[in-house]
A = this chain, B = another copy of it.
Amino acid sequence: MSNIHDKAQELKRTLAESEEFSTLKSLHEQIAADEVANKMLENFRQLQLDLQQKQMQGIQITEEEAQKAQQQFELVQQHDLISKLMEAEQRLSVIIGDVNKIITEPLEEIYGNPDQQ
């Protein structure tokens, strides 16, 4: 495990030092320092969270709620910092997804590839 642990730490440092991560961190800090942007983003996240929780509880989302979410999304997208942040989050999420795919490849040898089933 110690070897695995060391390699995981190396990977972590590489991620933390990547341009993608620095960009995300910087945008996050810029938004935190911008009261309007911060509030907009907070409201949007809260709305998303509320809808997700409803879905997880099996509660049907109304037409009105879906429209409101879409409107809020279009609104925050128009904010330069927020749209850049969401893009940066998306990029990092793809990277983390790729990394997870790579490191769990050995398990595919044993259990097969779930994507191909």
Contact residues on A (Cβ < 8 Å of other chain), bracket = 20 to 34
Copies of this protein chain in the complex: 2
B104 touches A96 (CB 8 A): yes
DSSP majority for the A interface?
helix
How far, in whole Å, are A63 and B23 apart by their CA atoms in the complex?
A: 52
Known: A1-B18, A1-B20, A3-B18. A8 touches B109 (CB 8 A): no
Complex contacts, A4 vs chain B, CB 8 Å: 11, 14-15, 18, 95, 99
Q: Does A114 contact B (CB under 8 A)?
A: no
Q: Which residues of A contact B (CB under 8 A)?
A: 1, 3-5, 7-12, 14-16, 18, 20-21, 24-25, 28, 58, 92, 95-96, 98-100, 102-107, 109-110
